[in-house]
Amino acid sequence: MKRLLLRILPVLLIVSLFLGACAAPVPAVPLVVIAPSATPEPIIIPVTGATSAVTPTASATSVEPQSDDVWDRIVANNKIVVGTAMDYPPFAYVDPNFQVVGFDIALIREIGRRLNIPIDIQNFTFEGLPGALQLNQVDLAIAAISITPERSSRMSFSPIYYVNQTAILGRNDSTVNIADLKQVAGLRVGVQRGTVYESMAQSALIDTQLMSADKLLSYMQADEAVRDLVANRVDLVILGQATARYYSAELGLKIVGNGFVQQDLAIAMRPGTPRLKAEIDRVMDAMLIDGTMLSLIQQYIQSDILNVLPTPIPTNQPTATAVPPVPTVAPPLCWDGMKFVADVTLDDNDMKNPPFIKPGEGFVKTWRIQNTGTCAWTSGYRLVYAYGNVAAAHMNGQPVNMPGNVT
């Protein structure tokens, strides 16, 4: 893979800032993300040869799940690399002490504890998680990921660990009361890229020509959409109910629509990883039975428990279930992927010793990054800042178009 030097010329704000001091010092949090102007469709790996599950008899012999390369790698490295998106409270976010916390984080750490395998959490934009799985950059992905037929055609899922609802968030002075998604037509609506909420808005509003495309604003991170809602740059944000409740309490926003579509959340894996899936399923079933899942929901989400736990809670006796047909989806061309290699200038030493820049002083910050995907970076791609824990963290850095092909 060729490596690329990125040079960005931001100008500091009036206030005195340490370089990168507002960004969360979390290992492997990417400083820039790829945002192609025309995102290529991901590769689809069809699941074939599925058979129906059979209820075991008393004389049945327990069969060890066959091994797989991902599980073998986990055992060899003695760690599970987990991808998440740290912009979606209360599931995964960076707290004021720069610690990665949330329901998803606590859940995956408890799974690692029960498997006696350390967890290595890596931060991605939400839309980059499927590619990270397919490119073996992560072993699992947990980021309030809803199970959908399209996703099930290219990813394997754990048992459902939380049942969420779709909600619409507005400012506290909003007078709208949304009972049908079509009512948002004509308003400025924010969604996160790659989510079911973006797909929902696209199919219900844009594809039906009820709303012009310029009214639907897609954001790389959910917190950017909420920030623009507070700043009156959008009128509404469509997101999950638990996250809407969090921002309503923290920022004084108002939930103006609720309960449109149920979202079943699960941990995502690559298809063809039977041993990994068997181990994750076993631990999660035990957590449902012994009450740990309920305890985590109460601690991090504090929802109406009767409406958020998957049902039925599993027992020690499995029952026969039919395997649903796998949707037929045409395989696309390639996956996008990127790896941060090093700071070339103004190294902050993982935020241990950030360089000091005087207020108003311009500077050049250079990183080395690597294309780890199967898509060539063409002039249709650009590098943009991913916001830190506050808006000022990107220090007015501007997007940079890709100068030619990088493979």
Q: Which domains does the chain have, with CATH numbers?
A: 1-43+331-407 (no CATH), 69-161+266-307 (3.40.190.10), 165-262 (3.40.190.10)
Q: Could you tell me if 229 and 252 are in contact, meaning their C-beta atoms sit under 8 angstroms apart? A: no
Confidence of residue 87 (pLDDT cuts 50, 70, 90): very high
- 404 pLDDT above the threshold of 80: no
Q: Which two tokens stand for residue 305?
A: 């428990």
pLDDT of residue 392: 60
Three-class DSSP category at 335: coil
State residue 142's pLDDT score.
Answer: 98
CA proximity to 233, closest of 220, 215, 251? 215
Span 97-104, mean pLDDT? 95
**What is the edge-to-edge ordering of all strands in the sheet holding 338-343?**
3-8, 365-371, 338-343
Question: Residue 374: its pLDDT value, please?
Answer: 75
Judge whether residue 329 has pLDDT over 60: no
Nearest by Cα to 91 from 282, 261, 239, 234: 239
Distances (CA, A) of 96 to 23, 89, 92, 246: 11, 13, 13, 15
More reliable by pLDDT, 14 or 191: 191
Q: Indicate if the pLDDT at residue 337 is higher than 60.
A: yes
Please check the confidence at residue 331 and state whether its pLDDT lies above 70.
no
Predicted TM-score (pTM) of this structure: 0.69
* CA atoms within 13 Å, Cβ hemisphere of 370: 8
Read off the pLDDT of each residue in 44-67 and give the average, rounded to a whole number. Answer: 36
CA distance 86 to 80: 18
> From CA 257, how far away is CA 281, in angstroms rounded?
34
- Give per-residue pLDDT as tens, 374-389: 788 887 787 776 555 4
Alpha carbon of 382 to those of 63, 180, 278, 366: distances in Å? 49, 36, 39, 15
